[in-house]
Structure 1
């Protein structure tokens, strides 16, 4: 995967990642964000009905799968740590 630097003149994001952030710190934060997104998606799915409910449960499953991948990567960095699911 090639990564191209973003031209600051055209950047639209208000937020940025802390320079020097370690892979472990980035993955831990991503894991926590995904856990929060999963909780929100599941709560919304239970409150919904019909097609919207199914779509939201599908979204929750995608978020959960992403969290599993992030946690698997974290386990390779620090196998003794515990993280949110």
Structure 2
């Protein structure tokens, strides 16, 4: 058990990004996370009704927009190896 707290341990986040993670790896993971979030939001929207359905579709649209931005950044970072069909 640690008895002394390092400055690096003084974060408010429970999870940390692996040191040395490349921009390409980070973007690929972000793209995959956004694709999963989009699928969940759309699934929930289709099973909802009324204003909840509209709000969930709005959330899915925001996620989709973020996904497009991440994929564009990934294409610019690694245009040769970019091959996500999303």
Structure 1: unaligned runs, 5 residues or longer: 1-5
Aligned Cα root-mean-square deviation (Å): 1.6
CA contact (8 A) 1:32 1:84 kept: no
Report the Cα distance in structure 1 between the residues aligned to 2:21 and 2:78, rounded to whole angstroms. Answer: 16
Question: What aligned pairs does 1:1-85 form with structure 2 within 5 A after superposition?
Answer: 8-9=9-10, 11-80=11-80, 81-85=82-86
Question: Per-residue deviation at 1:33?
Answer: 0.2
The SS at the match of 1:17 is coil
Structure 2: unaligned runs, 5 residues or longer: 1-6
Q: Could you tell me the TM-score, scaled by structure 2's length? A: 0.84
Q: Of the two, which has the highest radius of gyration?
A: 2
Give CA-to-partner distance per residue, 1:18-62, whole Å, 9 cap, x none. 001000000000000000000000000000000000000000000
Query: What is the total number of aligned residue pairs between the two structures?
Result: 79
The SS at the match of 1:79 is coil
